[in-house]
């Protein structure tokens, strides 16, 4: 099953809870009550092994380390990096200068090959679509593809659905669309 690392703003922001309710995939939530060396090691491991690293930035952010992480990940593993900037977080908002700076960070992540969103429902839809392409999980497609008789087991509607879904997933990335 696809797994996403939930990085970004902490400080009692509720974005993680809201997103988790919408996800149909696995996730790693690095927020714990008591931050220890073991927690830090697990976070590093999860950032490296999760299928996607999501960084949600909200006006409750007080430090800038999440910005450094998302830019770092967009350089090292762009196809797995997602940034989402939420303009509001329980009554708090960004200043105009902060919004402009964050828009530039989002543009940088996209130029590096990552994805950028401004709403949690868009993030959830994107991640859920990747997990379930054309009515099958990626594992189901993989298991079918490695069989010697994979094409005889597919019907034309399967292929059309797969190509359509794959095209939607690839839109906005550096990957060429199938011809």
pTM score over 0.85: no
User: How does pLDDT run across 22-55, given as a tens digit for each residue?
Assistant: 999 999 999 998 889 999 999 999 999 999 999 9
19 in Cβ contact with 124 (< 8 Å): yes
Residue 158 pLDDT level (bands cut at 50, 70, 90): low
Task: Pick from 15-19, 153-157, 166-170 the range whose average pLDDT is largest.
Answer: 15-19
User: How does pLDDT run across 89-111, given as a tens digit for each residue?
Assistant: 999 999 999 999 999 999 999 99
- What is the C-alpha to C-alpha distance for residues 128 and 169, in angstroms, rounded to an integer? 11
Q: What per-residue confidence (pLDDT) applies to 116? A: 97
Domain range 3-126, CATH architecture? 3-Layer(aba) Sandwich (3.40)
Q: What per-residue confidence (pLDDT) applies to 147? A: 62
102 in Cβ contact with 87 (< 8 Å): no
Phi and psi torsions of 103, nearest 5°? -65, -35
For the cut 50, the answer to whether the pLDDT of residue 176 exceeds it is no
The residues spanned by each domain of the chain are 3-126, 134-170
């Amino acid at each position: 099953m696809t797994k996403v690392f939930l990085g970004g703003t902490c400080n009692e922001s509720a974005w993680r809870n809201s997103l988790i309710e919408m996800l149909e995939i696995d996730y790693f939530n690095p927020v714990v009550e008591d931050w220890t060396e073991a927690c830090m090691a697990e976070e590093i491991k999860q950032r490296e092994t999760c299928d996607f690293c999501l960084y949600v930035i909200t006006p409750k952010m007080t430090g800038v380390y999440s910005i450094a992480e998302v830019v770092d990940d967009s350089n090292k593993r762009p196809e797995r990096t997602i940034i989402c900037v939420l303009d509001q977080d329980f009554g708090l908002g960004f200043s105009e200068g902060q919004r402009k700076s964050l828009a530039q960070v989002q543009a940088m992540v996209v130029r590096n090959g990552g994805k950028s969103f401004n709403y949690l429902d868009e993030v959830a839809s994107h991640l859920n679509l990747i997990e379930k392409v054309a009515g099958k999980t990626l594992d189901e497609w993989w298991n079918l593809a490695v069989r010697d008789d994979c094409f005889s087991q597919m019907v034309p509607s399967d292929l059309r659905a797969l190509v359509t879904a794959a095209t939607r997933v690839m839109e906005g990335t550096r990957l060429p669309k199938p011809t």
